[in-house]
Amino acid sequence: MNYLIRIMLLWCCMVSAAFTNMLEINIDGKPFQVPCWFSQKKQIGAVLLINGGSHTQSPALLDYLAHRLAENGWMATLLQDDKSNSIPWMKQLPEVIMTLRQQKFMKIIVLHYGEQLQQTLDYFDKPQALKIEGLILLSAYPIQQPINKKPKINMPIFDIIGQFDHGLVKQELAIRQKTFGNNKKKYLAIEIPETEQDYKYSRQLLFTLIHGWMMKLPEFQPTPPIFMYTYQYPLLDFQPKYEHLLKS
């Protein structure tokens, strides 16, 4: 019996290890690794899961999403502040996007869960921000309100909260709906019924909504190179017109 239990534990460990890998990026000239889950099917794209806040919020939810994404053709990475390293997730974000784009991922989506939303919005509001194909806000809210600054929308956004989410989360969603509501082509907001912030009893529905929305996003279109053309007059046209000048 003990032998059978050991075999089962070993098998579980092997399965778990098969799903969780490390994506190596470069930050300030030094190598750094972030957890990732490779796609188990034909690869569709990559999803960056951001666990906003200085403490881990519902790791079970993000772990569930990471595994389901990998099972359905997405590579998933997890960015969060961790006591084991001094590099904040905000500094990891652009490096992960750049690394994935270099690996020819044509569809990259960022999912921000929980606190510190303003950091994500501020980054993608910058002209030099790296382009992504979509942004998912999951029970997301800023810790501090920006001063006299309205967020801009430069990409498709999927805004999701639970019916029994925190009051601040619902308040922030209402503000974003007023700001982006008229742009229905790029902004979609929903409230999942009978759901709290951990989405414990509605995770399958949550994943189905996220996966369906991402599948409809267009792929990355590289900017074509700019070519400069110059026109050179034919020599035969030049000679008859100015032949008398050359003879004089």
Q: What pTM, to 2 d.p., does this model score?
A: 0.82
Q: How far is it, in rounded angstroms, from Cα 188 to Cα 114?
A: 18
DSSP one-letter string for 141-188: --SSPPSS-PPP--S-EEEEEETT--HHHHHHHHHHHHHHTT-TTTEE
152-189 tens-digit pLDDT: 778 999 999 999 999 999 999 999 999 888 888 999 99
DSSP one-letter string for 15-84: HHHHHEEEEEEEETTEEEEEEEE--SSS--EEEEEEEESSS---HHHHHHHHHHHHHTTEEEEEEE--TT
pLDDT at position 54 is 58
CB-neighbour burial class of residue 17 (10 A; exposed 0-12, middle 13-18, buried 19+):
exposed
Rounded mean pLDDT for each run of 10 residues along the chain, 248 residues in total: 47 45 93 94 97 70 97 96 83 97 97 95 93 98 73 88 96 93 92 96 98 97 68 55 53
CB-neighbour burial class of residue 110 (10 A; exposed 0-12, middle 13-18, buried 19+):
buried
- Domain over 17-223 is classified CATH 3.30.470.20: no
pLDDT at position 146 is 62
87-112 tens-digit pLDDT: 999 999 999 999 999 999 999 999 99
